[in-house]
Structure 1
Amino acid sequence: MQELTAYIAEFVGTTLLLLFGCGVNANTSLKGTYGKSSGWIVISFGWAMAVFIGVFVAAPASGAHLNPAVTLALTITGKFDPALIPGYIIAQLLGGILGATLAWMHYRPHYRAEEDQATILGTFATGPAIKDTPSNFMSEFLGTFAFLIAVLYLTAPNFGTPEGKLGSLDALPVALVVLAVGLSLGGTTGYAINPARDLGPRIAHAILPIPGKGSSNWSYAWIPIVAPLGGAALAAFVWMTLQ
């Protein structure tokens, strides 16, 4: 029963993360919104607050990973039971799909009004500002490494376990790290730093009936999946070396 509760918490937390995250993307990008063209600062703060809300809600039951890269890093460092990995990742992915879908529902008239396919996709999934596969991969790898190494130091010792009891003061540093990554490192690829954050909404984009939406850019999709996992693994090994 405790495991089921943890899975549900991961699902709900990731749903909230993507509702607010894709929501700020839509608000700053789509035609006719009051937030149109309000810029990168708003996007970065919106994603940071999305992480804060998701972590705050999910933490008491699941430890609030909300991210397969976090799950991987905590498993490597011995802070998480490997037997729970499949359930956590499935919950995170499904939450990513639902959160992006809810954001689309909220902004549906604006999606109908928007004609630019790249803008529509950008409200769901990440993509490179300048296409350069090695550099794009390194951006996601380094961004996730920086995020995870900071999280491993900033969070409470029992973060990442189903017994973890995080409060607002524990969730806030994680949100601030995401804000720092967005402001300093996010301008190259949109800083997915989370496979579920990118893949879940990309699936939603592919299946939702959005007029004129165009391609979901699956040729790029492997980068925000593989690179964050690699960056998380390196962060875990570095953190263990420094203990």
Structure 2
Amino acid sequence: MSPFLAEFIGTAILILIGNGVVANVVLNKTKGNNSGWIVITTAWALAVFVGVVISGQFSGAHLNPAVTIAMAVAHKFAWADVPTYIFAQLLGAMTGTSLVWINYKDHFDITEDGGAQRAAFCTEPAIRNIARNFICEVTGTFVLLFTIFYFADPAMATTEGGNLPIGMGSLGAIPVAFLVWAIGLALGGTTGYAINPARDLGPRIMHQLLPIKGKTHSDWSYAWVPVLGPVCGAVLAAILYLAIH
């Protein structure tokens, strides 16, 4: 499997499971309706596990533009490959969230709350304070990337092209999944912890495009926060990692 295809499929399944659990919790008459934050954060962590297992040996399992950019800043990934990875991740996120809509369409149709519908696609803050929301996304992504630098061991394996692997197989995916779970439980309550520009932007684009019955606006005035916040947090993590190593 090519790195592009691995990032595409891995991200698609990540979002299928991640946004799938949000749909299960927030949409009307699902089996998991109102099952809560623990269910959402657990499934998102397991979604990361699955995505990393699938793509790790082929692409290093970035599945996140913030990871790709941070690795390039830290001189552990080729800048020339960054656009290819980000494009694959964005397409994967758009595909995965479209599959969520197809699977849950009957429930989208009977959910009159447009905000709940949108929540199954993209993030929004619990309290809208743009400056603080931005800081929260920076913080969560900083923790993600700074820790991943210590998970990633180039001696474990090499991907095609010699890029640094994030997780190789199921054992390598386990600590990353626990990390995402911890971030969601501890830091996710403010903004919904996008910590991944593709995870938010790709589904937000599809929310805009898909013929969702009774949908509200896609909240583009907020959309830059879960894109630039994670990028800034990732770059800061890479700079600190380089400074102390």
- Whether contact under 8 Å (1:149, 1:235) holds in the other structure is yes
How much is the aligned-residue C-alpha RMSD, in angstroms? 1.3
What one-letter code is carried by the residue in structure 1 that aligns with 2:227?
I
What one-letter code is carried by the residue in structure 1 that aligns with 2:66?
A
In the TM superposition, residue 143 of structure 1 has moved relative to its aligned partner by: 0.4
User: SS of 1:124's equivalent?
Assistant: coil
In the TM superposition, residue 242 of structure 1 has moved relative to its aligned partner by: 1.8
1:126 paired residue number: 123
Q: How does 1:40-59 map to 2 (within 5 A)?
A: 40-59=37-56
Q: Please, which moves more after superposition, 162-171 or 189-198?
A: 162-171
In the TM superposition, residue 167 of structure 1 has moved relative to its aligned partner by: 1.4
Q: How does 1:209-228 map to 2 (within 5 A)?
A: 209-228=211-230
In the TM superposition, residue 157 of structure 1 has moved relative to its aligned partner by: 2.4
Q: How does 1:7-156 map to 2 (within 5 A)?
A: 7-156=4-153
Q: How does 1:126-205 map to 2 (within 5 A)?
A: 126-157=123-154, 161-162=159-160, 163=162, 164=165, 166-205=168-207
User: SS of 1:31's equivalent?
Assistant: coil
Q: 1:208 to 1:98 in 2, by over 3 A?
A: same
In the TM superposition, residue 156 of structure 1 has moved relative to its aligned partner by: 2.5
1:231 aligns to 2:228 (yes or no)? no
User: SS of 1:212's equivalent?
Assistant: coil
**Off by >3 Å, runs of 4+ in structure 1:** 158-165
**Partner Cα separation in structure 2 for residue 196 and residue 60 of structure 1:** 21
Q: 1:136 to 1:184 in 2, by over 3 A?
A: same
In the TM superposition, residue 78 of structure 1 has moved relative to its aligned partner by: 1.2
**Partner Cα separation in structure 2 for residue 71 and residue 236 of structure 1:** 11
**Partner Cα separation in structure 1 for residue 13 and residue 149 of structure 2:** 23
User: SS of 1:215's equivalent?
Assistant: coil
CA deviation string 1:6-28 (max 9, x = no partner): 00100000000000001000001
- Whether contact under 8 Å (1:80, 1:160) holds in the other structure is no
**Partner Cα separation in structure 1 for residue 141 and residue 172 of structure 2:** 19
Long gaps (5+) in structure 2: none
- Whether contact under 8 Å (2:97, 2:206) holds in the other structure is yes
User: SS of 2:120's equivalent?
Assistant: helix
In the TM superposition, residue 213 of structure 1 has moved relative to its aligned partner by: 0.7
- Whether contact under 8 Å (1:141, 1:228) holds in the other structure is yes
In the TM superposition, residue 155 of structure 1 has moved relative to its aligned partner by: 2.5
What one-letter code is carried by the residue in structure 1 that aligns with 2:105?
R
Aligned identity (percent) is 50
CA deviation string 1:148-168 (max 9, x = no partner): 111111232268953447111
What one-letter code is carried by the residue in structure 1 that aligns with 2:208?
A
TM-score, L = length of structure 2 = 0.95
CA deviation string 1:194-233 (max 9, x = no partner): 0000000001111111011110000000000001000000
Long gaps (5+) in structure 1: none
TM-score, L = length of structure 1 = 0.96
CA deviation string 1:93-140 (max 9, x = no partner): 000000000011111100001000100001100001000011000000
What one-letter code is carried by the residue in structure 2 that aligns with 1:96?
A
